[in-house]
Amino acid sequence: MIRKSIHTQMRHEMGDKKLFEQAKTYAFDYMDTIAARTVYPDTRAIANLARFDEPMPDNPQAGEDVLHLLHAYGSPATVAQTGGRYFGFVNGNVIPTALAARWLSDTWDQNPALYVISPIVAKLEQICEQWLTDLFGLPLDSAAGFVSGTSIATMCGLAAARHTLLKRLDWDVNTKGLFEAPPFRVVVSQQAHGTVFKALALLGLGKDRVELVPADAQGRMKADKLPTLDANTLLILQAGNVNTGAFDAFDVICEEARQAGAWVHVDGAFGLWAATCEKRQYLTRGIEKADSWSVDGHKTLNTPYDCGIILCRHREALIEAMQASGAYIQYSDQRDGMLYGPDMSRRARAVEVWAALKYLGRKGVAQLIDGFCENAASFAVALKEKGFRVLNDVAFNQVLVACETPTETQQTLENIQRDGVCWCGGTVWEDRPAIRISVCSWATTSEDVAASIEAFVRARKKTVENLQPL
């Protein structure tokens, strides 16, 4: 029972630091045991989540009890995506230095809305803006906004495009809205990511009024099927198809768009990072000719979650699209972060981006990306040897796998997920189920790949045995 006032209790906890020692012990325990655990939480861990079902408590609790509950029943119900054998979605791991930097920065609790609210985070945002544009080979005065992920980054890029295209038509969308606005065209690949369509919907541009360009067997926009572009067009391209990892033909398409005066946005959530490493740079050739790019930190760069970046060649366009005002806002001649994204208050994400980039250096970033690609290539080779079908050209970090029949593929995937040695997600590719392997964790070793291949073989064996007629 706690009798002291909550303020006294919190002062005491900040003073004696015991809670933080406790959290550190739990975190270390998690780090030390995660590799040995099933990748997906077991049924008992999931059932134990019922421990969290309770009415909102009336009285304050001891902080140590809150933390204890979280570790005892929360930690086992996490998905072990930091362990090296998680290949679901395109979920990155976390670089130790970036995680440690986040621990420190969480203690700072900074709000990077304005320079005057946090000079240090404003500084790191400015540094990351320079480093990232340089690293990706983009125009050096491009602007960067630090947002929660690529979904929001794409929305920002498309908002900057919408603002600019309508301004050219003498229409200020910020003040006049969209209802009476002159229309502009939106050209999208049939294989665009779902978040692109979501952003179009949120921005009032409509998912169904787009001109859809067909894609080839790898999921690349067919450049020869591109409609004639003009200065009244928003064209959305993709660096890294979420299934195949394929890249649109930027060099050719961006050149055509540039000559037509169209705005090009590149969804580069995980794939834009190919530009940072010599061996994979050919995949992103020509991206620098686009107008805006969205990219994640939390996928390929392995920063902690809630970290995406909008990059825009036209600084003023992004600022005008993200405009905000209020008598109490104190802009400075330094970097005011809220000018570059939809949020005002937000987390200091640039701290982790900076820590990851400073730690890795150019060579480390290239090694990280190359490592994903090499492990993906090993997966493809070994799975083919074991008689699986690899459906894509493995040029980046994605491998699409199938068995002999759709039923066999589907059941093998379910068996892989139940087996617990690794975790892969499923998808539908060319109207048939497929297993997706996304290599996106720095921790994945060749032993992890080998153990996962064995899990694939085991899962298929079980499937085939079950499918056998009695």
Ligand X SMILES: *Cc1c(COP(=O)(O)O)cnc(C)c1O
H or E, element range at 72: none
Collect all residues with Cβ–Cβ distance below 8 Å to 418 and sequence separation of at least 6. Answer: none
CA distance linking residue 141 with residue 149, whole number of Å: 22
Q: How many CB atoms lie within 10 A of CB 56?
A: 4
CA distance linking residue 303 with residue 352, whole number of Å: 6
Answer yes or no whether residue 302 interacts with ligand X by CB under 6 A.
no
Q: Shortest approach of ligand X to residue 424 CB, angstroms?
A: 16
Q: Which of residues 271-300 bind ligand X (CB under 6 A)?
A: 296
Question: x/- site string to ligand X, residues 62 to 101, per CB under 6 A?
Answer: ----------------------------x-----------
Of the candidates 150, 191, 398, 452, which one interacts with ligand X according to CB under 6 A?
Answer: 150
Q: Three-state SS for 63?
A: helix
Q: Shortest approach of ligand X to residue 410 CB, angstroms?
A: 23
Task: Candidates 1-9, 13-21, 59-67, 264-272: pick the segment binding ligand X (CB under 6 A).
Answer: 264-272
The smaller minimum CB distance to ligand X, of residues 90 and 143, is found at: 90
The smaller minimum CB distance to ligand X, of residues 309 and 435, is found at: 309
CA-based nearest residue to 200, from 241, 158, 169? 158
Question: x/- site string to ligand X, residues 2 to 31, per CB under 6 A?
Answer: ------------------------------
Of the candidates 101, 237, 242, 262, which one interacts with ligand X according to CB under 6 A?
Answer: 242
CA distance linking residue 54 with residue 56, whole number of Å: 6
The smaller minimum CB distance to ligand X, of residues 122 and 237, is found at: 237
Of the candidates 164, 195, 452, 463, which one interacts with ligand X according to CB under 6 A?
Answer: 195
Q: Shortest approach of ligand X to residue 169 CB, angstroms?
A: 28
> What's 57's DSSP letter?
P
Residue with tokens 């790949």: 449
Task: Candidates 98-106, 138-146, 267-275, 384-392: pick the segment binding ligand X (CB under 6 A).
Answer: 267-275
Answer yes or no whether residue 438 interacts with ligand X by CB under 6 A.
no
Q: Shortest approach of ligand X to residue 16 CB, angstroms?
A: 38
Answer yes or no whether residue 267 interacts with ligand X by CB under 6 A.
yes
The smaller minimum CB distance to ligand X, of residues 268 and 433, is found at: 268
CA distance linking residue 324 with residue 313, whole number of Å: 20
CA distance linking residue 358 with residue 409, whole number of Å: 42
Q: Shortest approach of ligand X to residue 265 CB, angstroms?
A: 11
First to last CA, the chain: 63
The smaller minimum CB distance to ligand X, of residues 150 and 164, is found at: 150
The smaller minimum CB distance to ligand X, of residues 151 and 412, is found at: 151
Task: Candidates 26-34, 77-85, 143-151, 343-351: pick the segment binding ligand X (CB under 6 A).
Answer: 143-151
CA-based nearest residue to 58, from 11, 16, 6? 6
The smaller minimum CB distance to ligand X, of residues 41 and 308, is found at: 308
Q: Shortest approach of ligand X to residue 147 CB, angstroms?
A: 9
The smaller minimum CB distance to ligand X, of residues 270 and 456, is found at: 270
Answer yes or no whether residue 193 interacts with ligand X by CB under 6 A.
yes
Sheet holding 211-213: strands in order across? 143-147, 308-312, 292-296, 263-267, 233-238, 185-189, 211-213
Answer yes or no whether residue 240 interacts with ligand X by CB under 6 A.
yes
Q: Three-state SS for 215?
A: strand
Task: Candidates 18-26, 74-82, 266-274, 367-375: pick the segment binding ligand X (CB under 6 A).
Answer: 266-274
CA distance linking residue 322 with residue 229, whole number of Å: 26
The smaller minimum CB distance to ligand X, of residues 149 and 304, is found at: 149
CA distance linking residue 257 with residue 259, whole number of Å: 5
Task: Candidates 100-108, 119-127, 144-152, 334-342: pick the segment binding ligand X (CB under 6 A).
Answer: 144-152
Binding-site size, ligand X (CB under 6 A): 13
Residue with tokens 């969480």: 106
Q: How many CB atoms lie within 10 A of CB 155?
A: 24
> What's 299's DSSP letter?
S
> What's 312's DSSP letter?
E
Q: Render 419-456 in DSSP notation, one character per residue.
A: H-S-B-EEEEETTEEEEEEE---TT--HHHHHHHHHHH
What is the pairing mode between strands 185-189 and 233-238? Answer: parallel
Q: Which amino acid is at 157?
A: G
Nearest residue to the partner ligand X, using Cβ: 149
The smaller minimum CB distance to ligand X, of residues 242 and 453, is found at: 242
- What does the binding site for ligand X look like in residue numbers (CB under 6 A)? 90, 149-151, 193, 195, 240, 242, 267, 269-270, 296, 308
